[in-house]
């Protein structure tokens, strides 16, 4: 997990389509995978250590694992199908996989809402320990970066191929 302030979540994205895709892959896809790989076991530990605390985020590790699975399926489709087609210049029918990706983006919202609900919108209680705080801080950063990632695809990358026909 990286501890950057959320202000660094939307660095300058390159203009050119191939470079923009590279930027999405390294700055978002790989970063999300690394963040989730550490947040899920951290949530398991916090839930376990604070099992008797009524403020503990029971179910958070499961919700994060669900988000990781949904995002992995989605990012794999972009990496294996959509982005290679875009690098090759797009072409007839590309609006169909783009529509599927937009629907996937909307589908992440239910799991994200569950994560926010379980954690009081990622606000740790007064008495939260360091691990608990770092779990909520890391999850907040992940969700901010995921929102920036989705906005970059929905608003910048995808329209280039939806309107070029
Ligand atoms: Fe993506
Ligand atoms: Fe996406």
Measured in Å, residue 153 CA sits from the centre of ligand 2 at 6
Segment 14-34 shows an average pLDDT of 97
Residues contacting residue 92 through CB under 8 Å, at least 6 positions apart: 165
Segment 104-132 shows an average pLDDT of 97
> Each residue of 76-117: pLDDT tens digit?
999 999 999 999 999 889 999 999 999 999 999 999 999 999
Q: What is the DSSP letter of 136?
A: H
With cut-offs at 50, 70 and 90, classify the pLDDT of residue 165.
Answer: very low
Give the environment of ion ligand 2: residues with CB less than 5 A. Answer: 153
Measured in Å, residue 1 CA sits from the centre of ligand 1 at 19
Measured in Å, residue 68 CA sits from the centre of ligand 1 at 13
* Distance between CA atoms of residues 128 and 134, nearest Å: 10
With cut-offs at 50, 70 and 90, classify the pLDDT of residue 3.
Answer: very low
Predicted confidence at residue 53, as pLDDT, reads: 97
With cut-offs at 50, 70 and 90, classify the pLDDT of residue 10.
Answer: low
Residues contacting residue 24 through CB under 8 Å, at least 6 positions apart: 13, 149, 152, 153, 157
Strands (E), 39-111: none
Written as six digits, the tokens of 30 are 């790989």
pLDDT over 90 at 7, yes or no: no
pLDDT over 50 at 35, yes or no: yes
Alpha carbon of residue 156 to chain centroid: 17
138 burial via Cβ count (<10 Å: 0-12, 13-18, 19+): buried
Predicted confidence at residue 2, as pLDDT, reads: 53
With cut-offs at 50, 70 and 90, classify the pLDDT of residue 6.
Answer: very low
**Rounded to 10 degrees, what is the CA torsion of 77, 81, 82, 88?**
160
* Distance between CA atoms of residues 69 and 45, nearest Å: 20
Measured in Å, residue 58 CA sits from the centre of ligand 1 at 29
Give the environment of ion ligand 1: residues with CB less than 5 A. Answer: 78
Residues contacting residue 114 through CB under 8 Å, at least 6 positions apart: 59, 63
Q: What is the DSSP letter of 15?
A: S
pLDDT over 90 at 27, yes or no: yes
């Amino acid at each position: 997990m990286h501890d950057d302030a959320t202000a660094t979540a939307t660095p300058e994205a390159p203009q050119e389509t191939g470079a923009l895709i590279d930027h999405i892959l390294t700055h978002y896809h790989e970063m999300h995978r690394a963040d989730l790989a550490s947040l899920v076991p951290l949530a398991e530990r916090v839930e376990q250590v604070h099992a008797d605390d009524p403020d503990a985020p029971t179910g958070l590790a499961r919700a994060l694992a669900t988000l990781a699975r949904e995002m992995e399926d989605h990012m794999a489709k972009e990496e294996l199908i959509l982005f290679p087609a875009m690098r090759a210049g797009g072409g007839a029918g590309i609006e169909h996989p783009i529509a599927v990706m937009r629907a996937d983006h909307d589908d992440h919202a239910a799991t994200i809402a569950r994560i926010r609900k379980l954690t009081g919108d990622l606000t740790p209680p007064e008495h939260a320990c360091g691990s608990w705080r770092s779990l909520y801080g890391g999850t907040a950063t992940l969700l901010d970066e995921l929102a920036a990632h989705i906005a970059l695809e929905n608003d910048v990358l995808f329209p280039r191929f939806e309107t070029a026909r």
